[in-house]
Structure 1
Amino acid sequence: MTDPSRSIGQTPEARELRLLADDLVALPDAQTPQLVAASSPDDWDRALLYARTATGLLRYHSWMADTSPSRTARLLGVRDSMMAADLLATAERGPALVHAHNARLQRAESSMRTGDLPVEWWSAGAIVSAELGEGYAFLATALGAIRHRGVHTPPPDTIEGLLYALPEDRYVVDVRRLASALADVTPAARVSPWFGHAPLDPAHVASTDGIVFVRDVGRSRVPPAPSSG
C-alpha cells in the first residue's frame, strides 16, 4: 500500500477495465424495469452490490498507483465512500444495527498523520449521517483496560478514566448527562500503548448519540473445534 510503483491500478489494461465496468454498471439504471421484473429482491440487491464494489475497487487501485501528495487521503476517502454506499443500501431495506470501528462510523471528520503529512477524509458514518439525517444514530465504543495487551487502568482525567471509576462493568452512557457532568471539566485525550486500541477522542463525544463502555476486556477464548470422531 505504501509503494505506488508496485500497483497495477493505472496500467492501460486497468484503465480499459474501468471504462468497461463503468459502462456495465450503467445498465441497471437504464434497464431497471426489466431487471427488477426478472429478479428477486435479493438478486437485484446483490447485482447492485457487485456493480458498486467492482467500480469502487478499480477506483481504489487507480489511486494506489498515484504518486501525488493527496494519494493517501483519496485512498481512505474511496474506502469509506464504498462503506457508506453499502450502509445506505442496507438502510433502504429497513432498520439496521451495524458494528464497526468508531473511526468508520463517527460523524466528525477523520484525520491521521502519515509521516509529517496530516491526512483528512470523511468517514462512512459522516457520509451516511449527512444523507439520512435523524435516521442515523452512532454509539461510540469506549474501553477501560485491556491488560493482556498492556492497556492498563485509564488515567482518571480521561473519558475512559471517569467511566472506569463507576461501579458497574459496562454502561450505555447518555452523552447529554455526561456533558452535564463534565460542564466544568475538559477531559484529557488518552494515549494507548497498543496499536490495536484507539481511545475515544474527547472532541468527538458531543457528535455521538451515546457511548457503549466496557470496563475490562479479557483475552478471547476460542472454543475447541468439534471432534471428528
Structure 2
Amino acid sequence: MKLIIIIGLICFSYLGYSAEIPVYSYQIVHTYPHDSKAFTQGLVYDEGVLYESTGLWGQSSLRRVDLSTGKVLTLKLLSPELFGEGLTLWHDQLIQLTWRSRRGFVYQKDDFSLIKDFSYATEGWGITHNEDFLIMSDGSDQLYFLDPKTLIKQYSIQVHTPKKTPVTHLNELEYVKGEIFANIWTTERIARINPNTGEVKGWINLTGLIQSQPDNGQADVLNGIAYDATHDRLWVTGKHWSNLFEITLIPSSPP
C-alpha cells in the first residue's frame, strides 16, 4: 500500500523550518529490503545496484548491494581505525570519505581495488558531485568543491536560508536535477540547496518514514540518499534501517 503523508507549510517552527521556504512531503512508491546491520553513511545508485558506505569503528565498509533483495554482493572492510562516511561515484571510480581521520579513498568501481588515497583539512561527512566538481560536507554549514582529478579543494560555499540563517549539520549528499540534497544530521528532513548560492530552496519532511518499517530495535537516524537520473527515481534510508524506500516528492505551494 502506498503511504501518503501531506505536510502543510505551517506548524513546522519546532523543526526549524522557516516560512519563506517551501516544504515538500513524500509518497512511498516501493519498499526494498535493507541490511539492518549497515550503519549507512553514503549511498549511490548505478546500473541496477547500490553502492553503500557504512560507518562505526571496526565495522566500516564499502558495499555493492542488490537493489531488489538488499543482498550484499561485494564487501570491502575498512581498517578498524577508520570510520567510514560519505560515498560518491565519479565515472568508474568510487570515492569514499572517513570521519575524523581526514582521509579519503578512491577505488575502482568494478572490483573495489584501491587506486589512491587523499587527505582533506576537515572531518569527512557526505560527498556527491555535479558535472565539474566533487562536493563534500563536514557537518558544518559549509560545502566544499573539490577538483575530481587532484581532489584538492577549489572553493566553498555557506548553506543558508533566504534570510541568511546558516544551516548546519549537513551530512549525506546527493546531486539531484541541479540541486544538492543534504540530510540534516539527527533530523527527519532533507535540505534542497542551490549549488551556486548555497541558499536552501526547499525542505523535504520525511517525518514518519522510520515508522513505516518493522521495528528492529536498533534503527537510528535518517541517512542515505540515492538518485537514478535515467529513470528519475529517488531512494532514502537510515542507519540500521531494515528498509530502503523509493519515494516521490509531493510539491507544496510557495509560501
Higher helix share: 1
Please give the TM-score of this superposition, normalised by the length of structure 2: 0.21
Larger radius of gyration: 1
Higher strand share: 2
Q: Name the structure, 1 or 2, with higher relative contact order (CA <8 Å, separation 6+).
A: 2
